[in-house]
């Protein structure tokens, strides 16, 4: 079934009380921000940006070498970027899915899969070891078919994955109905190597762990400029500077501090809704007592999951790029996308007609043309960056942090020898070609969904060149 994009009055009504704040950040456990930087200081390692990438970098840097001074500067508050506003799917894949990894790094996919699984296990171990209370659950993720051709694609995926020992599980319509009841779900494929988390609580737990190990965190302290000075990099902020031996840039889709990054990243806005907690009869009407993470298998897809207090998060579908890498809080609210999401929700779960959405929000994804993180250095190796996660960075950000530390410490190891780490995505063209190309790709993706997955010439050429668009 193709979702209808015309919102009915009932769907619009379900949104009328929703507040425009990410559900996860609307939590009494949100910590009071640390003071901003108001003096000039020096450090061994400066981390810029306190989302998952920056927090893992600071934590791992301290765990690897407790004697190292680490300073973390955050423009807003810890976790208020993408890390505190995502779906909370923690995927083992560090390549934005097995298929993307297989098509781009066929010679390395086996090791990349293994590194991804180790990374997910390490995240889980850290959460347990540090006793971070963040509703972490290893429940797996099911991709769902709403069109028959997707079931064939799932079967092909299982064949492709066989040599790599990935344990996919296929469900037909009846088997899926035992897990989740929707009139439009035709079957699904489950990957066990995926977890769910309350992302803001994870970020705050990592923040506390960093503070406990002596990381100095300054919030509401945007870095305005980086400058190389002899053996140091100077980070300028409004009320003080940091003189650092090494700098780790973890600024994701935000306007970059290094010009070169803007060729590789486009900020793409993704939106999500959260329902009120379901009553027990509403829950019984849809089943889904197992808390599996779900998404539909279309190219333009929704992701959905439940929370500890029995709500449903429903997000995705629209992926909005604004002219010339447009960015800012004003783009986090988009009534048309909220209305479309609400309408699609009730098409998937007509049993829940009448339920209200309490939260509606958006956030920016750092899309790059290969959909998976990339790394690089600047200032003669004193600065490193990790970004480009393209909507699948909750888990991959820890791997990104490890690689950044490898690069800053000059380590050659099993990670830094990978082509995956050594190469960069193809850059996006400048405007107006950037906007035109993205619009054409989005239109073509929609066409493919409406034409049994068949890709038009534009998508075929883009795939062949290696220049993709995804969220
Ligand atoms: C709506 C939405 C849903 C998503 N769902 C999922 C999902 O379910 N699973 C998944 O794996 N991924 C998902 N993602 C992507 C995931 O959230 C990101 O890949 C991940 O959080 C990236 O973490 P980060 O630390 O690199 O970036 P961020 O969390 O964005 O952190 C970057 C930080 O840098 C700070 N900063 C920027 N510039 C400066 C500066 N000049 N000075 C100081 N600080 C600065 C920002 O304030 C920000 O806090 C989603 C993203 C969005 C927006």
For residue 371, pLDDT over 80 is answered with: yes
- Ligand 1 touching residue 23 (CB < 6 A): no
Contact 400, 297 (CB under 8 A): no
Q: What span, in angstroms and rounded, lies between the C-alpha atoms of 360 and 338?
A: 7
pLDDT, tens digit, 9 for 90 and up, residues 166-199: 889 999 999 999 999 999 999 999 998 999 999 9
pLDDT number for residue 208: 98
Q: Which two tokens stand for residue 288?
A: 């889904």
Q: What secondary structure does DSSP assign to 17-85, as a single string? A: T-BSS-GGGS-TTPPPPPPPP-S-EEEEEEEE--SHHHHHHHHHHHHH-TTS-EEEE-SSSTT-SGGGS
Q: Is any atom of ligand 1 closer than 6 Å to the C-beta of 187?
A: no
Q: Are 210 and 72 in contact (CB under 8 A)?
A: yes
DSSP category for residue 258: S
Q: What is the pTM of this model?
A: 0.97
Which of 2-6, 50-54, 159-163, 466-470 tops mean pLDDT?
50-54
Read off the pLDDT of each residue in 41-62 and give the average, rounded to a whole number. Answer: 98
Mean pLDDT of 375-401: 98
Tell me, what's the pLDDT at 293?
A: 98
CA distances from 38 to 54, 238, 241, 397 (A): 21, 8, 8, 29
Our answer on whether the CB atom of 137 is closer than 6 Å to any ligand 1 atom is no
- Could you write out the three-class secondary structure of 355-377? CCEEEEEEEEEEECCCCCCEEEE
The predicted structure's pLDDT at residue 469: 78
Q: Supply the residue whose CA is at minimum distance from atom 2 of ligand 1.
A: 86
Q: Are 91 and 395 in contact (CB under 8 A)?
A: yes
Ligand 1 centre from 286 Cα, in Å?
Answer: 32
Q: Quote the mean pLDDT of the chain.
A: 96
Q: What is the mean pLDDT of residues 313-323?
A: 96
> In terms of C-beta density within 10 A (0-12 exposed, 13-18 middle, 19 or more buried), how is residue 142 classed?
buried
Helices 457-465 and 433-450: angle between axes, nearest 10 degrees = 120
Using CA positions, which residue lies closest to atom 48 of ligand 1? 81
The percentage of residues in the chain with a pLDDT greater than 90, rounded to a whole number, is 93
Residue 393 alpha carbon to ligand 1 centre in Å: 8
Which tokens hold the place of 307? 């929370």
Distance 54 CA to ligand 1 centre (A): 10
H or E element at residue 378 = strand 374-378
For ligand 1, whether the C-beta of 256 sits within 6 Å is no
The SS3 call for residue 148 is helix
Atom of ligand 1 nearest to the CA of 395: 11
Closest residue by Cα to residue 296 from 331, 336, 266, 341: 341
Residue 64 confidence (pLDDT):
97
What is the model's pLDDT at position 467? Answer: 79
Q: Which atom of ligand 1 is nearest to the CA of 362?
A: 1
pLDDT at res. 383: 98
| Tens digit of each residue's pLDDT (9 = 90 or more) over 128-166 | 999 999 999 999 999 999 999 999 999 999 999 999 988
SS3 394: coil
How many Cβ atoms from other residues are within 10 Å of residue 198's Cβ? 22
The CA distance from 467 to 335, in Å, is 30
Is residue 257 in contact with ligand 1, taking CB distance under 6 Å? yes
Range list of β-strands (E), 230-317 = 232-237, 241-249, 266-275, 293-296, 302-306, 312-316
DSSP 398-416: HHHHHHHHHHHTT--STTT
Residue 471 has pLDDT above 80, yes or no: no
Tell me, using a 6 A CB cutoff, whether residue 51 lines ligand 1.
Answer: yes
Reported as a pLDDT band with limits 50, 70 and 90, residue 277 is very high
pLDDT tens column, 78-129: 999 999 999 999 999 999 999 999 999 999 999 999 999 999 999 999 999 9
pLDDT tier for residue 470 given thresholds of 50, 70 and 90? confident
* SS3 label, residue 270: strand
Confidence bin at 274 (pLDDT 50/70/90):
very high
Task: With H, G, I as helix, E, B as strand and everything else as coil, classify residue 271.
Answer: strand
Q: How confident is the model at residue 255 (pLDDT cuts 50, 70, 90)?
A: very high
> Best of 247, 251, 269, 364 to mutate for ligand 1, by most ligand atoms within 8 A of CB?
251
pLDDT for the residue 225: 98
C-beta 100 within 6 A of ligand 1: no
State the closest ligand 1 atom to the C-alpha of 251, by its place in the atom list counted from 1: 34
Residue closest by Cα to atom 52 of ligand 1? 86
Find the mean pLDDT for residues 261-279.
97
């Amino acid at each position: 079934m193709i979702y209808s994009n015309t919102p009915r009055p009932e769907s619009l009504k379900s949104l009328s009380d929703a507040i425009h704040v990410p559900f996860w950040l609307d939590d009494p456990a949100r910590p009071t921000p640390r003071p901003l930087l108001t003096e000039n200081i020096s450090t061994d390692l400066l981390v810029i940006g306190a989302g998952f990438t920056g927090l893992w970098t600071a934590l791992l840097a301290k765990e690897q070498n407790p004697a190292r001074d680490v300073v973390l500067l955050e423009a807003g508050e810890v976790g208020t970027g993408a890390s505190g506003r995502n779906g909370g799917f923690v995927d083992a894949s560090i390549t934005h899915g097995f298929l993307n990894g297989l098509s781009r790094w066929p010679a390395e996919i086996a090791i990349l899969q293994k590194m991804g699984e180790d990374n997910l296990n390490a995240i889980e171990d850290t959460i347990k070891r540090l006793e971070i209370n963040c509703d972490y659950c290893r429940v797996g993720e099911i991709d769902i078919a709403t069109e028959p051709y997707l079931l064939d694609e799932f079967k092909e995926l299982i064949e492709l994955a066989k040599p790599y020992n990935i344990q996919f599980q296929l469900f037909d319509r009846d088997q899926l109905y035992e897990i989740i009841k929707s009139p439009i779900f035709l079957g699904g494929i489950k990957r066990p190597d995926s977890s769910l988390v309350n992302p803001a609580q994870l970020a705050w737990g990592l923040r506390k762990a960093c503070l406990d190990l002596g990381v100095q965190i300054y919030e509401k302290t945007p870095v305005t400029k980086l400058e190389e000075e002899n053996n140091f990099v100077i980070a300028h902020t409004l009320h003080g500077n940091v003189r650092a031996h090494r700098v780790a840039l973890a600024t994701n889709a935000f306007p970059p501090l290094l010009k070169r990054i803007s060729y590789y990243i486009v900020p793409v806005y993704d939106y999500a809704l959260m329902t009120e907690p379901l009553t027990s009869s509403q829950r019984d009407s849809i089943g889904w007592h197992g808390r599996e993470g779900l998404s539909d298998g279309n190219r333009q897809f929704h992701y959905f999951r439940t929370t500890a207090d029995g709500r449903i998060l429903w997000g995705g579908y629209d992926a909005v790029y604004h002219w010339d890498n447009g960015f800012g809080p004003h783009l986090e609210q988009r009534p048309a996308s909220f209305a479309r999401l609400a309408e699609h929700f009730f098409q998937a779960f007509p049993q829940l007609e009448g339920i209200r959405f309490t939260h509606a929000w958006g956030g920016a994804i750092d899309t790059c043309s290969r959909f998976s993180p990339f790394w690089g250095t600047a200032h003669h190796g004193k600065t490193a960056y990790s970004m480009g996660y393209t909507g699948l960075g909750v888990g991959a950000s820890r791997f990104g942090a490890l690689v950044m530390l490898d690069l800053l410490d000059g380590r050659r190891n099993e990670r830094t020898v990978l082509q995956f780490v050594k190469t960069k995505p193809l850059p996006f063209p400048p405007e107006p070609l950037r906007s035109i190309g993205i619009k054409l790709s989005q239109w073509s993706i929609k066409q493919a969904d409406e034409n049994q997955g068949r890709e038009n010439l534009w998508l075929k050429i883009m795939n062949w060149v290696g220049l993709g668009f995804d969220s």
